[in-house]
Amino acid sequence: MTIETTQVPDTMTSEDFFSGSLLFQALDDQGLEELKASAQLVSAEAGDMIITEGARDEFVYLVRSGKLSAWTSRTGRDVKLGDLEPGSIFGEIAELGQIARTATVKAETECNLTRFPGERFMEILGRYPKARESLTNIVLKRAEDNLDKTL
């Protein structure tokens, strides 16, 4: 495994940090700065497992570059749930529901991600109704898509 984490440099602006993700457009400067302060940058190589179905951990991820894929084996066979590309988030379902990971996410290419502590992520987004609504819509759409693929 070649996953590396680093702190976010002070020189990185919030605009650069959150570019490409519609979810974060609902936050004001204070919310963006709070999220940025809690985040870590993650680098992964093709083949690295970022999260594993059934595991319990606390992070929500934002894809900054690269391509990842999400898989499940709940039905007894491996089912590809979809691809995650820049601007996508993942890990939010487990954090919202306080449940184990519902999928495995694997890097298909070299990737750069942002990792947020889940509790802090939810706390900050919870103060912004439009961000909370966007996150709910992302989760509902993903659940609907995943159900279609696993039945």
pLDDT, mean over the chain: 85
pLDDT bucket at 150, cuts 50 / 70 / 90: low
Q: Which CATH superfamily is domain 4-150 in?
A: Jelly Rolls (2.60.120.10)
**Cα–Cα distances in Å, from 35 out to 22, 109, 112, 114?**
15, 26, 17, 10
Least confident of 19-33, 53-67, 109-123: 19-33
Domain extents for the chain? 4-150
Least confident of 36-40, 74-78, 99-103, 146-150: 146-150
Look at residue 48 and tell me whether its pLDDT is greater than 90: yes
Q: Evaluate whether 51 touches 91 at the Cβ level (below 8 Å).
A: yes
**Cα–Cα distances in Å, from 84 out to 10, 48, 60, 124, 142?**
27, 14, 13, 23, 11
d(CA 13, CA 93): 28
Place of tokens 């889940």: 118
